[in-house]
Every structure is written in structure tokens, then in C-alpha cells.
Structure 1
Amino acid sequence: MSDIYQNARESLSRVQAFEPEKITREKELGSYAFASAVEPARKLVSLFQRVPLEALSEFPDQTLRQIQSAADGAFALLEEARAFDPDEGSIRDRQSAMPDKLSAAYTTHFATLQPHISYSVARTIDFAKIEAEGRAAIQAAKDLKDRLGAEMLESKAQAEQLLADVKKLAKEQGVTQQAIYFQEEAKLNDELAKKWLFASVAAVVVTLGYTISLFFVSHLEQFSPARLRTH
């Protein structure tokens, strides 16, 4: 590999390995600790970490120089924040300015690295694999649709059979219930018929007895002493 490639790789590796948490230095700086600079520093380091080292071998020399220059500038700023000396100049001004400087560096280097990051991402994508996975996902969705359709048809058939069974049971239950009513009504009519028959027989007997008694009474009058004397 060329020196340009090696220099770019070393510069990029150095930024990617930087630990933003070291900027804080709470024990050393106390109230002047750089806690507010940690997050913008982490964001800046993360930007350079999106450029994979193995992709550098595919970049032309001009691109490698751009990446090396951006990495060296970012690392110098990160080292400035990490090596902050409270004894130099205005502490408050430098402390409040550092997070803004880190954020501005992110914006600047993003414009430089964004095309290279996009290329690096694209080169790692296995489009054939994605296409195969897409076809598999479509087939799985189709199988699921077919299975759900079959289950719905089966459920519909079961529901229709259940409804038919319920109607049949209700019909049988209705016939059975009506049969009970008919049986009870027939029993009641039978009892009433017996009562009416008994009453009718009793009435006939009474009437017959009354008629016979009248017959005998009328004949007895013919043989009474008064009747005989008149003859």
C-alpha cells in the first residue's frame, strides 16, 4: 500500500479510538470540568467511526488525503479539549467555547465525509441477499394470507354447522316442549271428561229415580181408601 493510504489509515484510526469521556477530567479540573464537551466530542468521534478502515483501500489518493486532513483536524481539536490547561488565559471563556468548537467541527467534517460514508455503507450491502430475503418475506406473507384464509373458511364452516345444530336443537326442544303441553292438556281434558261423565251419569240416575218415584206415587193414589170408596 502507498504512504498516502497508510497515513490516512493511521489518522482515521487515531480519531476512531479517541475516548470522549477523558475530556471531562473532573478530578483535575473540579468546577472547570469539561462535562459539557463530552457529548459533542462523542458525536464527532462517531462520525469518523462510520468510515470503515477496510474501505480506504478502494478510495483514490485525493479522497484519502481529504479523509486524513479531516481526521487530523478533528483529533487536534479533541486533544485540545482533553489537554485543557486551566492556568492559561480565561478559563470560563475557553471552557464555554469548546463545546461550540466541537459542534462546528462536526458540521464541517460531515460535509467532507458524508459521500465516503455513503459509499462505505453501500459497499457492505449484499443486494442479492436483500433480494432473496425480500422474496422470502413476500412468500411468507403470502403463506400467512393463504393460511389465514383457509382458517377463516374453516371457521365459517364450523360456525354454519354450529348454527344448524342450534336451530335443530331449538326445533327439537320446541317440539318436545309442545308435546309436554299437549300431554298435560290431554290429561286435563281426560280428567274433565271423567268428571262430566260422572256428573252426567249422576244426573241420569237422579232423573230416572225421580221419574220412577213419580210413577209409583201416581199409581198409589189410585189404590188409596178415598179413591176406592168413590168407586
Structure 2
Amino acid sequence: MADNSKIVDAARTSLKRIQDFGSTKLPRTERLGEDYNFNAAVEPADRLIGLFRQFPEQFLDDLPPTHLNNLKSAADSTFNYFEQILSFDPKASDAYGTRQTLITSLDNHYETVFNSISSLIAFGATRLRDFSAIEGQARAAVQAAKDEVGSFAADMRAQQEEARRILDDVRRIAAEQGVSQQSSYFKSEGESHETIAKDWRWQTIYLAAGLGVFAALSTFLHKWSVLSPTNNYEAIQLSLSKLLIFAVIGFLLVLSARNFLASKHNAIVNRHRYNALLTFNALVDAAGGEDRRDIVLTYAAACIFSPQDTGYAKSSEKTEIVPNIIQALPKLGSAGG
């Protein structure tokens, strides 16, 4: 055990000497000049030093003596090249050839050292590998991936909700535009009936005034010598003529009044339909569910498009909307439940 400890210490000394060596000492440019400096030896020296640094010093105790000796021998032989370069004398015989031989030998020495200690480097790298740390890193990577997927899914859900909201807004705006466009027909129709009603109102006023004037004048017709009756036959004829004129003017007055009332009625009905279409969206939004919306749509359509009193007939048939809506209240309750 004591001998093995000495071998370990010797190997550690040789290894540390190489690992701590600085290749910047080798060129000696100021002393050797441009022709004899060892700048070309820096790169192969760094490769060798890097190779030795790959073996962790703390695992020397785990190596058997044979491998310790191999590692020590490789380190010592490498350091011997460094010493030869550091002690190179440019004044010696064949100094230039010696310089070239040292550089070439140092460069070729890398393969020899690699073949000798590569298995030891692999052993040290295996010992350095912390499997628990790798497992922790793997778990952290998996968790990060899960978090990323969760965040992505949340973003997708948020975007889906936003897209659904935008689609609902587009549909609502399109519906409002469609309803507004359809309601304009009732508005224009109501305005047309309102204009016609004004014309019929003035016609009624004129006919009523004409009838009143004729009634006033008719009281004095018999005093005109031309129209004054001379016998009973002429008196009856004059009375029938006045009655016929009264009947015609009265009929025209009644007809004009009915047309005025009918046009006014149609103007009000179309105004009602126009207002109903404008408030339809508010009723649908207040209804809530699809079933409720269908019920509101059914009765709103019935109210808007069902036949209305024309204004001519006194006893027009009317659709009983209110009782039907009352009958639909249980459906609204069940749809809400």
C-alpha cells in the first residue's frame, strides 16, 4: 500500500507539472531570434498539455500501478521535450537541424501519448459524469417542455376564445346591418303612406268644404229665377238633383276620408314594423339561449308580417299574438332550465 502511494504521488507530480506548464515559455523569440525561435512548437505543445488536462487528477488513486507508470512515463517524456526546447543553444553545432528535429518530434509525440493514455482519459471522463445531475437535467428539460406545451396550449385557448369572440362580433354586426337594411324597406313604405295620407287629408278637407258650401248655396237655389220651380214636378226634380249632388259629394268625402285613414293606418303599421326590427336584436340578446331566440323570432315575425287592419274594413281579423306569447311562456321557462 505504501509503494502504491509513492507511485500515485510520483504520477501526480508528473501530471501536475505538465498540466500547469505554460507553452508561452517555449518560443524564446527575443533570445533565439527569428531563425531559431520555437514558435512552431507552441501548437503541438498546447495539444499535448490539453490531452493531459483531460485526465482528472483526483482519480489517480483509482488507477493500478501499471497505468500509473504509463501515465507518469508519458508525462515525463513530454516534459523532457519541453526541457530540451528550453535548454536549446543556438550556438551548438547543427543548431538549426536540432531545432527542426525537436519540433518534429514534439509534433509526432502527440500520437504516442494519445495511444498510451486515451483509455485513462476515458476512465476519468466516465468517473466525472454525474448521472444524478444528468437525471436532474433531463427532468428539468422534460418539465420545461411540459411548461412550454402548457403555455402554448393556454395561448391557443386564448386565441381560440378571441377568434370566437371576433366571429360573434362579426356575426352580430352582420345581423345588425342586415336588420337595418331590411327595416329601411318598412321605413320607406311608411314614409310613402304618410305622404299619401297628407294628400288624402287635403282632399277630404276640400270635399268637406265643398259640401258645406254647396249645402249653404242649396238653400238659396229656389230663389234663382232660372232654378225656381213653377210646379210640383219641377220642385221634385230640383230636390232630387240637390239630393244626388249631396250623395255624390258625400260619397267622395267618405271615400277620401277612408283613404286618408287607411294611408295613415298603413304609415303607422310600417313605422311599427320598422321600430320592431330595430329592437329585434335587443330582444334576442335578452332572450339568451337558442330555443328562446327561436321563440322570440317566431312571434316577432308573426307580429311584423301577419296581416294588419287595412283601415277600410271595420271588422278585420287580427292575429292574437298576446295569448300565443302567454302560451309560449312555459317553453321559455323550460328552455331557460
Q: TM-score range by the shorter chain?
A: 0.7 to 0.9
Q: Return closer, same or farther for 1:82/1:183 CA change in 2, 3 Å cut-off.
A: farther
How far apart are the structure 2 equivalents of 1:102 and 1:176? 94
- How far apart, in 1, do the equivalents of 2:110 and 2:17 lie? 16
Q: Is 1:67 the counterpart of 2:71 in the alignment?
A: yes
Letter in 2 for 1:28: R
Corresponding residue to 2:147 among 143, 155, 170: 143
1:43 matched to which residue of 2?
Answer: 47
1:85-96, aligned counterparts within 5 Å?
85-96=89-100
Taking structure 1 as reference, are residues 111 and 181 closer, same or farther at Cα in structure 2, changes over 3 Å only?
Answer: farther
The 1:96–1:168 alpha-carbon spacing in structure 2 relative to 1, beyond 3 Å, is farther
Give the distance between the partners of 1:165 and 1:100, measured in 2 at CA: 81
In the TM superposition, 1:116-155 aligns within 5 A as: 116-155=120-159
Q: 1:69 deviation in Å?
A: 0.6
Query: Which segment is superposed worse, 74-83 or 135-144?
Result: 135-144
Following superposition, the deviation at residue 31 of structure 1 comes to 0.7
Structure-1 separation of matches of 2:96 and 2:196: 120
- Work out the CA distance in 2 between the residues paired with 1:184 and 1:102: 105
> For residues 146 and 86 of structure 2, what CA distance do their matches in structure 1 show?
57
TM-score by length of 2: 0.53
TM-score normalised by the chain length of structure 1 = 0.74
Letter in 2 for 1:118: A
- Determine the structure 1 residue equivalent to 2:25: 22
**2:104 aligned partner, one-letter code:** D
Could you say if the C-alpha distance between residues 193 and 126 of structure 1 is closer, same or farther in structure 2, counting changes exceeding 3 Å?
A: same
1:5-64 per-residue CA deviation (whole Å, 9 max, x = no partner) reads: 221111111111211011111111221322121111111111111122211111111111
Which of 54, 58, 67 is residue 54 of structure 1 equivalent to? Answer: 58
Task: Specify every segment of 5 or more residues in structure 1 that has no aligned partner in the other structure, as ranges.
Answer: 202-231
Structure 2: distance between partners of 1:62 and 1:114: 15
Larger RCO (CA under 8 A, 6+ residues apart) = 1
Where does residue 16 of structure 2 map in the other structure?
13
The C-alpha deviation readout for 1:96-147, integer Å capped at 9, x for no partner, is 4443322211111011111111111111222123223312322331232233
Question: Between the two proteins, what is the percent identity of the paired residues?
Answer: 36
User: Alignment RMSD, CA only?
Assistant: 3.2
Using the alignment, how far apart are the partners of 1:184 and 1:84 within structure 2? 114
Please give the per-residue CA displacement for 1:157-214, whole angstroms capped at 9, x wherever unaligned.
2211211111211221333345457646765x4698599x69xx8xxxxxxxxxxxxx
Match of 1:211 in 2: none
In 1: Cα distance, 2:176 partner to 2:127 partner: 75
- Count of aligned positions: 206
> Aligned with 2:68: secondary structure?
helix
115-124 vs 139-148, which deviates more? Answer: 139-148
Q: Distance in 2 between matches of 1:183 and 1:100?
A: 105
Within 2, Cα distance between the matches of 1:55 and 1:131? Answer: 23
Instruction: Output the CA distance in 1 between the equivalents of 2:69 and 2:112.
Output: 16
Q: Counterparts of 2:87 and 2:53 in 1: how far apart (Å)?
A: 22
1:88 partner SS: coil
Secondary structure of the structure 1 residue equivalent to 2:90: coil
